[in-house]
Chains A and B, each alone.
Chain A
């Protein structure tokens, strides 16, 4: 138990230097702003034809990943963790990227298959 509290003390030292109340509200503002941009695209840009749905989808995904970055980096504090933990938790997602590619190819093939029948 004493060892435990020692390690948490050492941890607590360099760890929350980056996340003050001001920073929290700033990140909240960024998340809100990104969401508002998504709504403007969905409700104004695409219906009025400034942007096609296809281009919009790429923008949505980019903005979503940006939001995910802010949540994971600041709210979940990963930005202030050791590099080893950061890598362990992010590099694992190569499998997900591979899976996405795999399943979209599959879906695309089925789509063509359906059109031909």
Chain B
């Protein structure tokens, strides 16, 4: 073996061309990159929320704002309803992963079953969010509106008192909270909604046997990535709006 023949040899390393170095299918890489950019968008929103909250002397207390279970308890049940929502979303993430797992085994029937479960989970979450938003609207929170809107002096302070701890209230903080809460959970809810729509499309394609003909269920994996990402974002939204 001399040096020249070594140069002539075809290189077979992962980065020597002619192959996908990460051995990930193109669509899946693109889904990952989209999710990365989406993660940056959500991070920016949440970081702005954090900066706002840091800059204020007081902020609405989560266990005072979120303490109702619609239809069951009006007061005194902090975090229970959002706990149910979190459980629903984690559960639907599990059913999605089970659909992906069934896809690996090319078991069409199981994929259909788990996809339907995932879609139901998505709708349940959206329903809960709609109920929660309606409840907050009734309390006076909205984009550009808070319970003290239209009130002045003592009446404004009294309107905000139930949502703050330690007696100190701030109209600006209440308003910023409302704007950011609806914007961020709305943006997340919009992602859940699009996820449900995409899941339905994939379900129809599965029922039609599109993936069976294609020979693989990679599409289910890609949609699964998106769905888990939505769950992932909720984990952060949950922490920063409801716990901290």
Contact = CB atoms under 8 A, between A and B. Distances in A.
B25 A61 contact: no
Interface in A60-117: 60-61, 63-64, 67-68, 71-72, 74-77, 81-82, 84-85, 89, 92-93, 95-96, 99-100, 103-104, 106-111, 114-115
A107 B51 contact: yes
A19 B231 CA distance: 19
B23 A28 contact: no
Contacts of B55: 106-111, 114
SS of A interface (majority): helix
Main secondary structure of the interface of B (DSSP, over half): helix
A56 B236 CA distance: 15
B78 A43 contact: yes
Given A64-B235, A104-B50, A110-B55, A5 B216 contact: yes
Contacts of B225: 76-77
Interface residues on A, range: 35 or more
B190 interface: no
Interface in B72-109: 78-79, 83, 86-87, 90-91, 93-94, 96-98, 101, 104
B216 A8 contact: yes
Contacts of A41: 243
A38 B232 contact: no
A82 B104 contact: no
Interface residues on B, range: 35 or more
Interface string B111-153: 0000000000000000000000000000000000000000000
Interface string B30-62: 001000100110011001101111111100000
Interface of A: 4-5, 7-8, 10-12, 16, 19-21, 24-25, 28, 31-32, 35, 38-39, 41-43, 56-57, 60-61, 63-64, 67-68, 71-72, 74-77, 81-82, 84-85, 89, 92-93, 95-96, 99-100, 103-104, 106-111, 114-115
Interface of B: 14, 19-25, 29, 32, 36, 39-40, 43-44, 47-48, 50-57, 63, 78-79, 83, 86-87, 90-91, 93-94, 96-98, 101, 104, 215-216, 218, 221, 224-225, 228-229, 231-232, 235-236, 239, 243-244
